[in-house]
Chain A
Amino acid sequence: MASRHKEVKDWPYAVKTLVTGIVGGLFWSLIWYLAYFFNFTTVGPALFWMAWSVGDWKEQPVGQWTAIGILSLVSIIITFLYRYILARVRGMWMGIFFGAILWFLIFFVANPFIIGLEPLFDMEGTTIVTTLCLFILYGLFIGYSISYEHELQQYESS
């Protein structure tokens, strides 16, 4: 049996982290766009472009779609950060907390630097709730996946 194990191998941890990051970013920014489409939130994934002044197209569907693409890539970096800093924390609650922190950093701390984003206290309630929920679920997705994988790797190596 030992020889068979060499032939068929599961993906290494790094590849899994990468795929988790890209899928997490893609999936949740698609949901974000969907929420934007149904007016749950006044800011869509195109929030990414708002840090730069790049013309009107950023609010159009093409701006949203390119933002979704770029957010998927940014998500890889976030995932690797999570892996190196927080992967040891077991369970899913750290992920939820991580998502909430991420939301706080973007919507409150970085808020003044993002052109076209209203101050947090002027925003509509639904926008706040929807984006916060999305970031929490995104954080849960990334955090739980990475820490569970970490747990399994440790279990399998022991």
Chain B
Amino acid sequence: MLKGTLQTIILKLLEDNEQMYGYEITQKVKEITAGEIKLTEGALYPALHKLEAEGLLKTSTEIVDNRVRKYYRLTEEGGNGVASKLDEAQAFIDQLQLLLNLKPATK
């Protein structure tokens, strides 16, 4: 996975799903990409913690089956930042397509 895209993926997933916990995020990515992209927890959690420290995500905890589950959700600032992150990712993909002489995907 390209550097920097993980944060965009996390923000987009949380925009679509309101709140999610770490394991759920890994499973969602696996499901959407039909297993082609597998997030490792060693990369996922540091990215989540960084986004939380930057104030883009906030957390809440719930007790599920006698264990503490930490949910992540977007803050107002995080919600506002999703569109610009997606634009950045799209611009990067467009540039990559140009560089590699790939034809834009047809719908």
Do A and B assemble together? Answer: no
Chain A residues packing against B (C-beta within 8 Å):
none
Chain B residues packing against A (C-beta within 8 Å):
none
